[in-house]
Amino acid sequence: MWITGIRLGSWRERWLRTFNPARMRHFHYSWPLRPEDCPCDLDFAELLVTRGIRRKSIFHFGSGGHHWIGRCNHEAELDNEVLALTLSPREHASYVSSIVRDPSLGRHYKVLFADLYALNAASLPIFDIVTLFHLCEFSPPAGCPQRLDDGHVLRLFHSRLSRDGLVIFYSGSFAYAKQVPIIEQAVAGGLLSFVEEFKSLRIYRAGDLGP
């Protein structure tokens, strides 16, 4: 039923876009917790808990309808300041409903509904950890007006990292093959250096921005 709903919603979005080509590209569905298909959020939550990562500033792309990272951070009392981004109005609505019921969840967990490719450095704080698990999965089609491409997204968040900050990728992403050249270019340019693998995650440390 969930897959059928996704297909019907996708057809509806394509139909609406024929009448309004400028319509924002977003996801009409909410992604549930599916560890067998996408364990990255569970692995990242485990990393935070087992490494005792506390009171850091974290950017997390994307929240999922389950908001697992925010809930784990809250329940484990890690007190990390987490800013998650979603391209799904339903995921954002579920966040709003959750913090209305339990405002304490929103104390250290915020969810932004926005286009990743329309972000600007001036609107972002400094982060200690950035997760780009789904980089290249939602790239705008060729010819679509956009502020950033995937390579510039990585450079943008690199510019908002604290000294020795971390960027984390998900090797199980269906777009990981597209991420690899972008990551390798960043490593070759001195922007990133590989640190370690943690389950499905690949962790890099920030270097100098370079020219």
The domain spanning residue 67 has which CATH number?
Answer: 3.40.50.150
The number of domains in the chain is 2
pTM: 0.88
Q: Is residue 157 part of a domain?
A: yes
Provide the residue range defining the domain that includes 2. Answer: 1-30
Distance CA 187, CA 102 (A): 42
Does residue 3 share a domain with residue 63?
A: no
Cβ-proximal residues to 160 (8 Å cutoff; 6+ apart), any chain: 59, 121, 124, 125, 126, 127, 130
The H-or-E segment that residue 8 falls in is helix 2-19
Q: Is residue 75 part of a domain?
A: yes
State both tokens at 184. 């390798």
pLDDT in tens for each of the 211 residues of the chain?
Answer: 555 655 555 656 665 667 666 656 757 667 888 899 899 999 999 999 999 999 999 999 999 999 999 999 999 999 999 999 999 999 999 999 999 999 999 999 999 999 999 999 999 999 999 999 999 998 877 666 677 999 999 999 999 999 999 999 999 999 999 999 999 999 999 999 999 999 999 999 998 654 4
